Chains A and B, each alone.
Chain A
């Protein structure tokens, strides 16, 4: 597996394109997939928690302020995706990037793309369940926030890993 990867990297280094894409295209592809993954997950996650929250708000519209943090929390993964996409342009000179570096940028973006997508969906489910605590007792918001926040940890780890990998890619 590692050998195959090394061969692929070598081939990419040798040529100006790899699999028909230039370094610039690979880097942009990576940035785009990081944002698409994070954004898609966040949209689904927020939809889940919004479904439950809208039911709670129909019964008690005064709970809007209390529900807002739970509604917003799955949205952070979309922000991580956006940060990753922007960081690609900050870390690398896209006009002069080689196919090899571009491909490495692409692979470095994958942790954010996948982990943020999946964690946002599950965070939405967790936040939807945690809404029951807030529905019954508003003062339990702190405890209710801890549960989806635990899911958030892994999205943060994926962002840290992606940024770390960016720093390790030779410019």
Chain B
């Protein structure tokens, strides 16, 4: 018997609460501790030590207490983020939401270790984010250097193999590591979302994948990249099919603009693809795609119970860390509150961060 998809969608509401209810309850309580703009303004107006005093009223305060130099701030914020991810692991056990959010750090570590192997140079301390990933960095190092196999989750093991094959084929280029790993990350995250059977996570992963593909296409065309580059860089599984993107990669910028403006990302791309000027504003592209993702996050706030609430909370915490880093580093380097606020506006977009 075939089940009506609308019925399936409606039924999912009833299964969401038992699956994510407790996690959402805990997140609801923690949401009250998120940094609000009033507190950000107080921090902006005060000196470095006073700012740390204001932060003591928040969740991140105890991690930053006694910070004197940039490294202290960096370590404190990193420990705070690690603690938040531990909280995520605790509340999301039995679901793939935690793995979905951790994955980017696993791929970050993978890229660092591959580059370390290719260049033969040790990475700077602090670049490896072992505690934010799902896999211990030493285990990943052994897998990356082919000393061990079968110890990592299949998704990561396959990705390491694919990167290695790509490097063997295209030469040991650190840039190629980024290109292949970024594609594999997006595809792996989409796989996790599908496995979790969450429409929101699938849409979120698909939009991120599409936006990444569009960035590759527009940057690649501007830089005159060859077809082989696109073959490695385009991820599969997005709303804009890979073959369409491959076709577009050999088209003129005007034709690309005309085609892309008719897609679901047309509105987002319209300030980027200036048809009148016949040019692509690459600087606007990052801002527009970030705003598109933020729009999606705003839509998440309408959902009371579900993975949306959990993902939104973690994204807001990550944003809080970025914000605090800008403010505290700015204060350490003697920047004025106005100058720091300008940087926040550029990096975080709007006051509603």
* Interface residue ranges, A against B (CB under 8 Å): 47-48, 50-60, 121, 124-125, 128-129, 131-132, 135-136
Contacts and interface: CB of A to CB of B under 8 A. Distances in A.
Contacts of B28: 52, 55-56, 131-132, 135-136
Given A55-B21, A132-B28, 10 more contacts: A47-B18, A48-B21, A51-B22, A52-B24, A53-B25, A54-B25, A56-B26, A128-B21, A131-B28, A136-B32
B13 A55 contact: no
Contact of A56 (B13, B25, B304): B25
24 contacts: A47-B17, A48-B21, A51-B17, A52-B25, A54-B22, A54-B25, A55-B27, A55-B91, A56-B25, A56-B26, A59-B26, A59-B29, A60-B29, A125-B14, A128-B17, A128-B21, A128-B304, A129-B304, A129-B305, A131-B28, A132-B24, A135-B31, A136-B28, A136-B31
B13 to A, nearest CB: 7
Interface string B275-305: 0000000000000000000000000000011
Nearest to B90: A58
A51 B18 contact: yes
A135 B17 contact: no
Contacts of A132: 24, 28, 31, 304
Contact of B17 (A48, A56, A57): A48
A121 B91 CA distance: 24
Interface in B289-335: 304-305
Q: Interface range on chain B: under 10, 10 to 19, 20 to 34, or 35 or more?
A: 10 to 19
A51 B21 contact: yes
A36 B23 CA distance: 30
B243 interface: no
A55 B26 contact: yes
> Lowest 6 CB-CB distances: which A-B pairs, in order?
A55-B25, A51-B21, A129-B304, A59-B29, A135-B28, A55-B26
B25 A51 contact: yes
Contacts of A54: 21-22, 25
Given A128-B304, A135-B32, A136-B32, A58 B25 contact: yes
Q: Which of B23, B28, B305 neighbours the largest number of chain A CB atoms within 10 Å of its CB?
A: B28
B316 to A, nearest CB: 14
Contacts of A56: 25-26, 28-29
B227 interface: no
Nearest to A47: B18
Nearest to B19: A51
Nearest to B305: A128
Nearest to A44: B14
B55 to A, nearest CB: 20
B62 interface: no
Contact of A135 (B13, B21, B22, B29): B29
B239 interface: no
Contact of A125 (B17, B23, B32): B17
Contacts of A131: 25, 28
B30 interface: yes
B17 A55 contact: no
Nearest to B23: A55
Interface in B30-66: 30-32
A127 to B, nearest CB: 10
Contact of A55 (B14, B29, B32): B29
A56 B198 CA distance: 23
Q: Which of B14, B17, B26 neighbours the largest number of chain A CB atoms within 10 Å of its CB?
A: B17
A144 to B, nearest CB: 12
Q: Which of A48, A52, A129, A136 neighbours the largest number of chain B CB atoms within 10 Å of its CB?
A: A52
Contacts of B25: 51-59, 131, 135
A131 B305 CA distance: 10
Nearest to A59: B29
